[in-house]
Amino acid sequence: MKSAAKRAGLCIVTMLIVSFLAYAAFALISGDPAQTLLGTDATPERLEQMRHQLGLDQPFMVRYLKWLLGFFTGDLGISYSYRQTVWSLIAPKIEVTLCMALISFVVIVAISIPAGILAAQRSNGKSGLLSTGLIQLGMAVPPFFTGILVSWGCGIVMKWFTPGDFPGLHSAKAATALRHLFFAAVCIAIPRIAMTVRMLRSTVIGEMNRSYVRTAISRGNDRRGVFLRHVLKNSLVPTVTFLAQTMAEIVGGSIVVEQVFGIPGIGRLLVASISNRDYPVVQALVVIMAFWVVLAGTAADLINQRIDPRLRLGGGE
């Protein structure tokens, strides 16, 4: 259990470093926020007043710590282009993207785990070729392409949702909103499913050839027993690691799909904010996305420590 605490500690340290680097980098490139907010014709007194108001007259480290605390208090400064607090701008977008990512993740897990196991057990002959073909195909279709097809087919033709018109998760039409997200989530999921199936197939086949399997057979286990009692658990660690990586990458992958489906998530906000040079927003989003990646990795390590006793060694017992 000590090693779990160690891992969580490492996670926090990583987040601190990431956030500090992001803050420092944006402080360097973003120039004078007071000037940006007030425009070039502002009087020096007005600028001074604004700087004080934004806390820019305080030392750098103090400003950094205040900003970092803002992730918990919701005070992350003011957006240059929307003139509203960064937090009120990004919070609903995070909700939408997170919701889409979770749907996508559930779809990936629900399909690729059984499919991967099946593909491992039928890896010879025609069914092996078939699964290899499907995997290649799935990995080859980019989400923006399936996105265009799906918005046309399911959106415009079948009218299951209206591309570009996202009703909002808390509106009366929340069900439509969820359907909208679901189709986008499936487009993100397809190549990931193919990758996960491929990973799982080779992992399970690899485990099947390990010598503990021979031992298990020599004790009288049937195929099911060998698989359920031994191979499955041993295949779990690489799978958890892979899925955590997938979870982290889905959020990045949502940027394009949000554009195609007209979903107001952080992906779209990020693209807009970058072109507007809206640094407070970009800064917050970059750090949140980095936190997400670190968090997924930490979760994977903690789960794997529970599965594999050898991974608990690091913490000492």
Partner 1 sequence: MLEIRDLHVQFHNRDREAVAGISLTIRDGEILGLVGESGSGKTVTAMSIAGLLPRKQCDYQGDILLDGDDLLHAQRALLRQMHGKKIGVVFQDPMSAMDPLMKVGEQVAEVLRIHTDMDAAQRRAEAVRAMALVELQDPESLYDKYPHELSGGMQQRAMIASAIVIRPSLLLLDEPTTALDVTIQAQILELLKKLNREEHISMLFISHNLNVVRKLCARVAVMQRGLIVEEGETEKIFRHPQHPYTKHLIEAIPTRESARRVKGERRAKKAAEATAAAKAAQGAAPSASAASAETREEGGIR
Report if residue 215 touches partner 1, rule: CB under 8 A.
Answer: yes
Site string for partner 1, 21-60 (x = CB under 8 A): ----------------------------------------
Q: In whole angstroms, what is the distance from residue 1 CA to residue 314 CA? A: 10
Stretch that binds partner 1, among 127-135, 196-204, 206-214, 283-291 (CB under 8 A): 206-214
Smaller CB distance to partner 1: residue 40 or 124?
124
Stretch that binds partner 1, among 15-23, 127-135, 222-230, 280-288 (CB under 8 A): 222-230
Report if residue 220 touches partner 1, rule: CB under 8 A.
Answer: yes
Report if residue 125 touches partner 1, rule: CB under 8 A.
Answer: no
Size of the site for partner 1 (CB under 8 A): 21
In degrees to the nearest 10, what's the CA dihedral of 258, 259, 265, 270? 130
Report if residue 2 touches partner 1, rule: CB under 8 A.
Answer: no
Report if residue 214 touches partner 1, rule: CB under 8 A.
Answer: yes
Site string for partner 1, 85-104 (x = CB under 8 A): --------------------
Q: In whole angstroms, what is the distance from residue 107 CA to residue 276 CA? A: 35
Is there a contact between 180 and 161 (Cβ–Cβ < 8 Å)? yes
Residue 300: what residue type? A
Q: In whole angstroms, what is the distance from residue 156 CA to residue 163 CA? A: 7
Report if residue 308 touches partner 1, rule: CB under 8 A.
Answer: yes
Minimum distance from residue 106 beta carbon to partner 1 (Å)? 26
Smaller CB distance to partner 1: residue 63 or 312?
312
CA 16 to chain centre: 19
Angle among Cα 113, 116, 117 to the nearest 5 degrees reads 85
Q: In whole angstroms, what is the distance from residue 14 CA to residue 6 CA? A: 12
* Residues in 227-256 that interact with partner 1 by CB under 8 A: 229-230, 233-234
Q: In whole angstroms, what is the distance from residue 214 CA to residue 218 CA? A: 6
Q: In whole angstroms, what is the distance from residue 267 CA to residue 236 CA? A: 31
Q: Which of 219, 224, 275, 316 binds partner 1 (CB under 8 A)?
A: 219
Smaller CB distance to partner 1: residue 46 or 310?
310
> Cα(first)–Cα(last) distance of the chain, in Å?
8
Smaller CB distance to partner 1: residue 4 or 232?
232
Q: Is 39 exposed, middle or buried (0-12, 13-18, 19+ CB in 10 A)?
A: exposed
Rule CB under 8 A: which residues touch partner 1? 210-212, 214-222, 225, 229-230, 233-234, 307-310
